[in-house]
A and B are shown apart, each in its own frame.
Chain A
Amino acid sequence: MAKYVLEVEHLKTYYYTYKGIVRGVDDVSFKLEEGESLGIAGESGCGKSTLAFSLLKLVPPPGRIVGGKIVIDGQDIVKMSESEVRSKIRWKKISMVFQGAMNALNPVYTVGYQLAEPLIYHKGYSKKEAIEEAKKYLEMVGLAPEIVNRYPHELSGGMKQRVVIAMALILQPKIVIADEPTTALDVVVQAQILNLLKKLQKELKISIILITHDLSIIAELADKVAVMYAGKIVEFGPLEKVFLEPKHPYTQALLRSIPRLRGSKEKLEWIPGTPPDLRNPPPGCRFHPRCKFAMDICRKEPPPEVYLEPDHRVLCWLYGKEGKQGQGGSL
């Protein structure tokens, strides 16, 4: 059996608001092998960022992890105390490139100091040593080491993004979560950042969990894809299978709705309606009000998890009979 760096089992993260419970992440499970990258796709509000924050145990209140397991390197972090997570897990084992990274830097500290800070606190480096180490990481992400003395406002958007990536890498974690790492950037810079992530993935053998609404970016980087809809993973499998033979109606529709630059110009399709309110999701399959193939059973009962192949699973009644329900491989 391959070694898993990350195992998520039946994870549930709910937000307890005055208006009711928002089921941001509802019963999500997946496993990630060492060096493997995962792309999480979905519309805004489907719970992808909540999932990312859960993995770091940084869910903002009133959100809370209410159930399930997150096993990183053999340790279940859901059961750990905050101080334990802080000293052992966060940034050392798993780190994150936050959404809108350009605003994630503190404007009153130099780039070098912000980069070096985790080394000072986690590893007890002296400030001088830490800055020297930070320079190495700046070089790794394709920046000149001299910028340790610069302030964030002196850098362009692409450079800031590189700094934030360097920051996520500095304690040498095995897993890096990248939440919409390129949305605020122009295409040319986006391509350069994607190249950088590819390079780091190869050289450092890290697992990147890429969270984005843009399926084309996932296609560039991920080995496996999880498509999320209304707090659930509706399809999970290797990139090639999910992109070339999508099984869930949502994945199919999503792939057909992206305008392409190359190839034939097909008429685009779209998904009618809007995503459900997660305080009060529709009964049965959560996608049924927008689904072309909705059947009677979809409206009544939640769909089963069907393993079409050991590594390709889908949450849909369409495959209820063909697939082997509930069993399958190690996934």
Chain B
Amino acid sequence: MSKQFQLPPRDEVLEAIEKKVGEKLLLYAYKLRKWFPIRRGIKEVLTRQPPRYVRAVDTITFYIKEGETFCLVGESGCGKTTTGRTLIRLLEPTGGYVFYKARPETIKEIKELQKDVYVKDGFIDLTSVHAKKFKPLRKELQIIFQDPYGSLNPRFKIKDILEEPLLVHGIGETLEEREKIVLKALEDVKLTPPEEFAYRYPHMLSGGQRQRVGIARAVILNPRFIVADEPVSMLDVSIRAEILELMNELKRKYGLTYLFITHDLAVARYICDRIAVMYLGKIVEVASADELIDNPLHPYTKALIAAVPEPDPELRHKFKEVPIKGEVPSAAAIPPGCRFHPRCVALDQHPELREQCTSVEPDLIEYENEHYVACWLYRRS
């Protein structure tokens, strides 16, 4: 499989999805791909072996509607973080399109910087923007990082951490003006009294408070779209709910849209409107949160749901049947055909599908209304 691949013209792709989703469409990733090259050994170079890649995000397509919380769920190493980062160009995509409905003033700014950027119907193709001209869009696309201990500079006071994005983007002309914005952001994330927190250092805060600073930093530029990369996985259970509620509140207040990345299906069910399940760089199923959990279609989703432990004493001493075999293969050596087939239990029950499953990769198809699945079991032919 080569790195280059043909994409249809942007106009066609955009038109089709606009017709399907309509007004509400905010972001559409089309055949997004991020492959990391593997360093080659001398023997491979001399024998002219083709280059090898870790296919972290392997041609995925999904859309996010305005005002919703869209979840990416999967095991570690399945490419969910890479997807989030590639989407907002913290990593350069290897291929694909990302259409995003930007604010008119942002589009104007970008167009002044770069002439040949693709803009149509208010949508801008993020992959067509030059990496050095991306700054105006950064205001709209923000990220909350997973690790509240690693993502704040220990030598900066909270006020400096929050002021930095304002300085970078030239917001607030005087110190007083910027301070006002910083204090308001602290109040937004309920670090009160804000005057007191502004002059503290990160080490003086607890994990939950630090994550609030991380959230304040993401919302301070008044963004529209935030990638939340496992924002609660490093926090204690007792404060997780508080952070999730805070995120919900900010979403309502500022009309935000989240891409929420998590490995925890129970958290996803609580906060998300729609969930996408990823396996080894590919989305295998997308549906609304309740539909996905009550009525999973893909064998992998079924296994994931069965594996989640439940705080119910009745389940004790019962063995948990998890319908899955083996272990996750390496993303550098993805199995041919359906990448889940070596672990699939359903495949054993449907021997007639074996040939198809082991040789041809299934596409993500709409099985029911807005319930997408990539599995040969659900192919309607």
Contact = CB atoms under 8 A, between A and B. Distances in A.
Contact of A270 (B242, B264, B315): B242
A186 B241 contact: no
B237 A188 contact: no
B311 interface: yes
Contact of B245 (A188, A219, A270): A270
| Chain A at the B interface: SS class | helix
Task: Select the residue from B304, B324, B327 with max chain A CB neighbours within 10 A.
Answer: B327
Contacts of B328: 186
A187 B310 CA distance: 12
B270 A243 contact: no
Number of contact residues on B: which range applies?
A: 35 or more
A265 B268 CA distance: 12
B309 A265 contact: no
A70 B275 CA distance: 49
Contacts of B244: 259, 268
Contact of A274 (B208, B319, B322): B208
A195 to B, nearest CB: 5
Contacts of B311: 215-216, 218-219, 243, 255, 258, 260
Given A194-B320, A239-B316, A188 B303 contact: yes
Interface string B61-87: 000000000000001100000000000
A188 B270 contact: no
Contacts of A156: 327
A243 B312 CA distance: 8
A221 B306 CA distance: 17
A270 B322 contact: no
Interface in B279-313: 293, 303-313
A43 B266 contact: no
Contacts of A192: 322
Interface string B236-272: 1111111011000000000000000001111101100
B171 to A, nearest CB: 32
Contacts of B76: 186
A244 B309 contact: no
A199 B303 CA distance: 20
B315 A219 contact: yes
- Which secondary structure characterizes the binding site on chain B? helix
B20 interface: no
A61 interface: no
B237 to A, nearest CB: 6
B266 A260 contact: yes
Interface residues of A, number: 46
B75 A198 contact: no
Contacts of A215: 237, 311
B226 to A, nearest CB: 20
A172 interface: no
Contact of A258 (B206, B237, B263, B324): B237
Contact of A268 (B245, B263, B307): B245
A220 interface: yes
B269 A265 contact: yes
Given A158-B327, A259-B270, A262-B310, A191 B320 contact: yes
Given A240-B313, A271-B239, 16 more contacts: A187-B263, A188-B324, A191-B307, A213-B236, A214-B237, A216-B309, A219-B310, A219-B313, A239-B316, A254-B237, A257-B240, A260-B311, A261-B265, A265-B270, A269-B241, A270-B245
Interface of A: 43-44, 156, 158, 186-192, 194-195, 198-199, 202, 213-222, 239-240, 243-244, 253-255, 257-262, 265, 268-272, 274
28 contacts: A187-B304, A187-B307, A188-B322, A194-B320, A195-B319, A202-B317, A213-B236, A215-B311, A217-B309, A219-B312, A219-B316, A220-B309, A220-B315, A221-B316, A239-B313, A239-B316, A243-B313, A255-B311, A257-B238, A258-B266, A259-B240, A259-B266, A259-B269, A261-B265, A261-B266, A265-B269, A269-B241, A272-B242
